[in-house]
Amino acid sequence: MTAPTPIRVLAADDHPMVRAGLAAVIGDEPDMQFVAEAASGREAVELYRAHQPDVVLMDLRMPGMDGLAAARAIIAEYPSARIVMLTSYDGDEDIHRALVAGAKGYILKDMLRTQVLATIRAVHRGNKVIPAEVAARLAEFVPRLQLTERELEVLGLVSKGLSNKEIARVIGRTEETVKAHLKNVFEKLGVADRTEAVMLAVQRGILHVD
């Protein structure tokens, strides 16, 4: 009786220890094969073209091209690609963006090894995998929050410590316009001040502060 073809897995993460851990875990499974590892989103796209694996484990945040951009690029070229976001970011906006991009699953790095392996097998079978913890995070913030591009830009500049005057100079608008944008941001987030706005935006994955 011929043995089933193993599930070929590519892992993309900028941390060598994470990649080594995944390689070890997947390598121990008789029905899986660890075929390649990428340290960046751009490398993940190149290695996908070279190996065309069955499942990709993709970190969300990587230098240069991040995991979300890499997922979009791969799926645009290979619509049937099965990509699972494996990340430490549990913000509802991060999850939404990944699913909209075409990810078949979204799991967190602190989940059990067995859950990661079960997700690989389920996604390979054609299923989508949203663990209860991730689904609860999505349900916590309904309806989905939508900040405009300008509001996101202003909030990002606030996170860098810029004053309203400095922000106005950067975006080429008046201080009153900046205040109006911040008022809208505060109302949408349900917060009272700049610090709270930045903290909640980071927590929800609306904003990433490196």
User: How far apart are the two ends of the chain, measured CA to CA in Å?
Assistant: 53
Least confident of 42-46, 51-55, 136-140, 168-172: 136-140
Using pLDDT thresholds of 50, 70 and 90, give the confidence band for residue 142.
low
Q: Tokens in use for 134?
A: 């991730």
Rounded to whole angstroms, how far apart are CA atoms 46 and 9? 14
Q: Are 205 and 95 in contact, with CB atoms under 8 Å apart?
A: yes
Q: What percent of the chain has pLDDT over 90?
A: 67
pLDDT score for 208: 79
pLDDT score for 51: 97
Q: Tokens in use for 202?
A: 């980071």
Least confident of 46-55, 62-71, 85-94, 118-127: 85-94
Q: Which CATH number fits domain 149-204: 1.10.10.10, 2.170.130.10, 3.40.50.1360, 3.30.1540.20?
A: 1.10.10.10
Q: Tokens in use for 105?
A: 């699953």
Domains of the chain by residue range: 7-140, 149-204
> What architecture is domain 7-140?
3-Layer(aba) Sandwich (3.40)
pLDDT score for 166: 94
pLDDT in tens, 158-196: 999 999 999 999 999 999 999 999 999 999 888 999 999
pLDDT in tens, 83-133: 999 988 888 888 888 998 999 999 998 887 889 999 999 999 999 999 888
Using pLDDT thresholds of 50, 70 and 90, give the confidence band for residue 2.
low
pLDDT score for 210: 66
